[in-house]
Structure 1
Amino acid sequence: MEKLAIIDMGSNSIRFVVMQIADNKSYSLQYQEKETIRLGHGLSQTGVISEEGIEKAMTCLHVYKHIMEVMDIKKCCAVATAAVRNASNGEEFLKRINEETGITMSVITGEREAYLGYLGVINTIAMKDFLIFDLGGASVEMTLVRNGEAVHSLSVPIGAVTLTEKFGTQGNPDEDAIASLTKFVRKKLGDVDWIQDINLPIVGIGGTARNFAKMDQRATNYELPKLHNYIMSVDHFDTLYYEITTRSSANRKKIPGLSSERSDLIVAGAAVIKTIFEMTGSPEMVVSGCGLREGLFYEHYADCCHLPSPRFSDILDFSVRNFLGTLSGVIINQAHYDQVTRIAVKLFDELQPLHGYGPRQRLLLQTAARMHDVGKIINFYDHARHSAFMIAHAPLYGLTQLEQIIT
């Protein structure tokens, strides 16, 4: 068994996760923390990370170091992104981190940041052609994916924190301020010719995209409290964009689902997403809860388990096997699961002329059969209901949210 700590220090927040790889090679999330540190605050004006931001980060890192000691974690992968990358005192800051905590943190390039985000998405969302954007506090990384392969990627130095400071949109911005902000974002993205009129879904990584999903779920009374792989139409986005950009600061905070700690940054973040929607002609945004941290983990996992690539060919099969692996030795009777799956699929195939369902429904039935008894880990009695709940909320990748509920 191995535990890996991952630290992602961005321009707005710092995140800490602990992943465990069991002896049977199944992995699971053991712990996570997130703190808003606003490392990029004031960076566009001064060119340096503020002392306040540094102290907030150091407080978090000392806590993370203590957690690693308590959990007996020997390996740590720690990365810093745009704020440290662009700051003149970035290297000095990293040196202090190492001296005080023993954590060795490296600065990654915008291109590597984009690649790690791509790995996090391609291994958890079953799409082939789309545009990824990872909107952070000081930059946005974009990757165009065709047939599952990353064909173009770049990092643009505009983010929710830096844009908010530049155009003063944290309070009650008027129409002129929002128009200037939008014009500036469009100019910055205008040279990226490979995103123009692609008419593909966009996949959003980062707090702004997730917050839009939360607001849309609240507005539509969505019943599944799950953000990853949530699909939001451009019409729904435009409705929320209008609400965000026309309300006063006090009323904006009352929008259901809008995070209080992001209410001052949401206008700038929304302007970036709206511009991406308009330039690409995209019909919808798929929200990804997986990104850079997952990409880092998949690289480590592939190396640890001697896999040929950190990309998985069949993400649904892989995630089902992985989830069952995390329960191994507790409830799994693999021979029984295999037999039930074989019979269920055979019945589906033999009765296909009567029911008329296709290969996608067959896959959902097969997945349900493979996991039909997992609820026994909660209680043998009424385990079918427990299984249904677990299947609906398990980290299964390769299905839409609706398909996971059907399964």
Structure 2
Amino acid sequence: MIRAKALLRREGSNDSVTHLELFFDLVFVFAVSQLSHHLLEHPTWTGAAETLVLLVAVYLVWTYTTWVATLLDTAKLELHWLLLLIMLVSLFMNASIGAAFGDFGWLFVEGYLLIQVGRGAWMLTTGLDGTLQSHFVRTLGWQCVSAPLWIAGVFFDPELKLVFWGAGALLDLTGHLLAHRVPGVRTEGTHVPLAGERIFERFGLFYLIALGEGILTTGTAIAANLEGPLILLTGTVALAGSVAIWWCYFYRLERETLDRLASAADHFRPGVVAGNTLMVLLAALILVAVGDELAISRPLEHPDVATVLILYGGPALFLAGQAVFIQRVLGRVPGSRLVGVGVLVVLAAVSFLLPAFVAAIGAALPLVGVAITDALVHRQSRPPNARQDGPAAV
């Protein structure tokens, strides 16, 4: 127990996110880029399914490591070595994403299981209290059940590999969503010493740098198509959509969430909702980045079904994810997000008749509309003597 007390973050501590943690995140921003390129190269239902399976694995590695770094004191040398070692293994795992359904599936699975099982086993040696010990025992048990599916998939062709890995990812995600419950064992979030504000800061920063990767993808696409007659228009539309996505979270939603969290006794369950929402938002950002690149590179072509689903699916998934989060955590009906999703569905239905650049404009407009609505609602609800407010600081 002495070691546990030395490694656990002090109760009530909300220390700022460290530079090492942000450095660690860069490996996973690289993974987001790899996933975007995989979907761009395979814009089919099978390619989308492969991308989703890989995203689940990447996200679970990042989020479980982030939870550990939030529970434990990141000033301790043991945590430095843990993060750096996971960073090393993750670098090779994420580098193999493009070839995971080819010749290097073994490398992706080896990295994934080594991190998930190894980190969980290490946590059980730290002498945690009963609640945390039970949590990590259950987590490790669920991971050991899914591991044979991941391992078996390595030995099959891409079609069967997708079946086995899909089952493994579904099992891991189900365990995550159920907080790794097992029959006869009760879970109690109020007993988990989680620094709520810190975990939300962690999620927000990762979301921001993942959004920055989308900007990088857009910039690369612009640089490759500078001679295009509509490059100024398509590039501006892509950036406008990204700015709207940033605005929809950082203008007021983050501050409202932190204010609500300050009065909540249980920081564990809101943190779980935030983490699950982040995975949805990452999937949305991948779709948005791929859609922007398709519109920039082929602006005058009429989009096929895959392009329309990517162009409109990203913004719709983003707004839907935020809608669920707002309802679950803030307890209010997110009308603007629901209207935005409805408008996207209607516009998607007619986009097959339009050039890709017009379809891209249609996909970005609801995002911009929601961002403007948020700003107007905030201004109307602000007391007359309140100072001018802007996007919340990160």
The structure with more radius of gyration: 1
Structure (1 or 2) with the greater strand fraction:
1
Give the TM-score band, short-chain normalised: under 0.3
Structure (1 or 2) with the greater helix fraction:
2
Comparing both chains, which one has the higher relative contact order based on Cα–Cα distances under 8 Å and sequence gaps of 6 or more?
2
| Structure-1-length-normalised TM-score | 0.25
| Structure-2-length-normalised TM-score | 0.25
